[in-house]
Amino acid sequence: LQIRNLGTSLCVDTKHGALGSPLRLETCVKGRGEAAWNNVQVFTFSWREDIRPGDPQH
């Protein structure tokens, strides 16, 4: 699954940031081989209707 901007073909990336760190737009990795998919990124759609890196905090 990717979060992709259709206008620019860039994808959301956490760049291994900590919980609450800003998200970045980077070149999408889908289709660039298995090595591009060896790190899983977790995103949360919060009650404020924004996307944040990391698991939800309850």
- The tens digit of pLDDT for each residue in 30-42 reads 666 555 555 677 7
- Give the separation between CA 55 and CA 43, rounded to whole angstroms: 7
Percent of the chain, pLDDT > 90?
A: 3
- Give the separation between CA 50 and CA 6, rounded to whole angstroms: 18
- The predicted model gives 11-22 an average pLDDT of 76
Contact 21, 55 (CB under 8 A): no
Query: pTM of the predicted model, to two decimals?
Result: 0.59
**pLDDT(19) > 80:** no
* pLDDT of the residue at 7: 92
* Residue 44: other Cβ atoms inside 10 A: 14
